Structure formats: C-alpha cells, structure tokens
C-alpha cells in the first residue's frame, strides 16, 4: 500500500543529491505507461507514480545478491558502470574546444577527470529483458558485463536466422 510508505526513505536520497543514495534501489519502466519509476529497498509495492495502475515490483532488500530482475523476474542480467556516457562525451568535447589555447592540456585534464569519475562510480545491475537498473547492491560474481550477443537474443528473439554464422 502506498500510504505505508515511510517518507524518510525519500529524504535519505534527497539529502545529498551529488552522492549516490545509500539505499539500494531498482529503476524500471512501468509495464502500463512505460514511465521510469523507482523503488527503494524496504519500500512496499505500490501503484505507478505516473499512471497510478498497480505494480507489484519491490526492490530486493539492501545487501542482497541480485540474481533475478526485481521488475520482471528474468534471470539474465549484466553489470555496467553507473556512468552517464553523455557526461563523459560532453567532457571530452569541452576539453577539445580549449585545445588550441592550452596546447592539449585541457584534453589531458578531462581524460584524467573522466578516469577519476570512472573509478568512483559503482556498478549497476541491469536486466537484459526489461532494462531495469538495480543500483546500490553488492556485486554478484556470477554476473558478466554487457554482452551484445545476449542482448541481441533478447531483442530479436531466441534464434535470429543465421545470426550465429554471420557474426
Ligand atoms: Zn505507469
Ligand atoms: Zn527485467
């Protein structure tokens, strides 16, 4: 029930928006309206924030090893850096603009910055099937990084004709 929701959970993640919320959470697309919605660990299932239709999705408890998607129950997942690629590209573009004035030092600067950000960010666990993102959970050693073949299998179906031979 949504009215059982403890508002302090939201306060926790809003307190310091520059840092990652302490609580584990799952971000997924509502099966009814496809809006991106989030549930934090310990939060009970409630209706979609946007279309207000019922969703049964709850985030796994804090510290749980994720081996199944919280949103759809699928068991093929991958991990990736919780890093916005657009931010990285924007940094490099910005660095390139200042190259003529800094003799390339700006590019070196953003490369280092990019590396630092890359090292700082944690992994998120993503569902191949519904793209739900599980954030703030410990790494599951059984999971592999993103694999294009597995991804294609989910997007194009179980047996894409000739896909195995051609690629
Ligand atoms: Zn919805
Ligand atoms: Zn899923």
- From CA 96, how far away is CA 110, in angstroms rounded? 9
Closest ligand relative to 33 C-alpha: 1
Closest ligand relative to 134 C-alpha: 2
Instruction: Calculate what percentage of the chain has a pLDDT beyond 70.
Output: 80
pTM summary value: 0.69
How many residues in total does the chain contain? 167
What is the distance in angstroms between the CA of the first residue and the CA of the last residue of the chain? 48
pLDDT of residue 22: 64
What is the 125 CA–ligand 1 centroid distance (Å)?
Answer: 22
3-state secondary structure of 80: strand
What is the 138 CA–ligand 2 centroid distance (Å)?
Answer: 18
Closest ligand relative to 129 C-alpha: 2
Using left for φ > 0, alpha for ψ between -120 and 50, and beta otherwise, residue 159 falls in beta
Count how many Cα atoms sit within 13 Å of the Cα of residue 1 in the half-sphere of its side chain: 2
What is the 150 CA–ligand 1 centroid distance (Å)?
Answer: 28
| Helices 105-120/85-97 angle, 10° precision | 160
What is the 2 CA–ligand 2 centroid distance (Å)?
Answer: 22
On whether the CB atoms of residues 72 and 132 are closer than 8 A, the answer is yes
36-40 and 25-29 strand pairing: antiparallel
pLDDT digits (tens, 9 = 90+) for 17-53: 444 446 899 999 999 999 999 999 999 999 999 999 9
pLDDT of residue 165: 45
On whether the CB atoms of residues 41 and 75 are closer than 8 A, the answer is no
What is the 72 CA–ligand 2 centroid distance (Å)?
Answer: 4
Span 111-131, average pLDDT: 87
Mean pLDDT of the chain: 82
Q: Which residues are close to ligand 1, an ion, with C-beta < 5 A?
A: 30, 32-33, 48, 50-51
On whether the CB atoms of residues 129 and 74 are closer than 8 A, the answer is yes
Among 34-43, 48-57, 107-116, 140-149, the least confident range: 107-116
pLDDT digits (tens, 9 = 90+) for 65-94: 999 999 999 999 999 988 776 777 787 788
Contacts for 163 with CB less than 8 Å, ≥ 6 apart: 152, 156
What is the 48 CA–ligand 2 centroid distance (Å)?
Answer: 16
């Amino acid at each position: 029930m949504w009215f059982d929701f403890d508002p302090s959970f939201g306060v926790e993640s809003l307190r310091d928006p520059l840092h990652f919320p302490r609580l584990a959470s799952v971000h997924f697309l509502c099966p009814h309206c496809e809006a991106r919605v989030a549930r934090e660990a310990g939060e009970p299932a409630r209706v979609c924030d946007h279309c207000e239709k019922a969703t049964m999705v709850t985030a796994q408890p804090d510290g749980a090893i994720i081996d199944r998607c919280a949103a759809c129950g699928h068991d093929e997942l991958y991990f990736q850096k919780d890093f916005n690629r657009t931010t990285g590209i924007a940094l490099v573009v910005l660095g390139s603009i200042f190259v003529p004035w800094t003799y390339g030092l700006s590019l070196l600067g953003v490369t280092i910055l990019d590396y630092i950000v890359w090292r700082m960010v944690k992994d998120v666990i993503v569902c191949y099937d519904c793209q739900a993102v599980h954030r703030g959970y410990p790494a599951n050693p059984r999971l592999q990084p993103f694999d294009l073949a597995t991804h294609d299998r989910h997007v194009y179906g179980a047996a894409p004709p000739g896909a195995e031979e051609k690629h």
